[in-house]
Amino acid sequence: MKHIFLFSLAMVFAITLSAAPLFAQDVYKTWQPPNAEPKGEKVLWDALVMRPAGLITCVLGIGGFIVSLPFALTSQTQNQAFDSLIVEPINYTFSRPIGLLEPATP
């Protein structure tokens, strides 16, 4: 049993170390004008991954808002909770042009 635990721990450690480069930032990112056409891989990533994830986030945000509503009402922050948990995910999912992954800065 001890060998299985040590092997599992070693595998988790190896996977964690191998996943670290995935979070590295692109140092050589080139600037694009705000109205530039998105590249095909960004459009595909947006359509296949980010939009469905946005739908899931919308559902989770609505559920989170319902759970947090009694606490938000007692502290008079229901509008802030509504904007953060419902409006922002819906805007990110449905109002954003396809392929534009970064949200618009105010």
pLDDT of residue 13: 76
Question: DSSP of 17-86, one letter per residue?
Answer: HHHGGGG---TTPPP--TTPPPPHHHHHHIIIIIHHHHHHHHHHHHHHHHHHHHHHHHTT-HHHHHIIII
Q: What is the per-residue pLDDT across 46-103, written as a single tens digit (0 to 9) for each?
A: 999 999 999 999 999 999 999 999 999 999 999 999 999 999 999 999 988 888 877 6
Would the pTM of this model clear 0.85, i.e. be above it? no
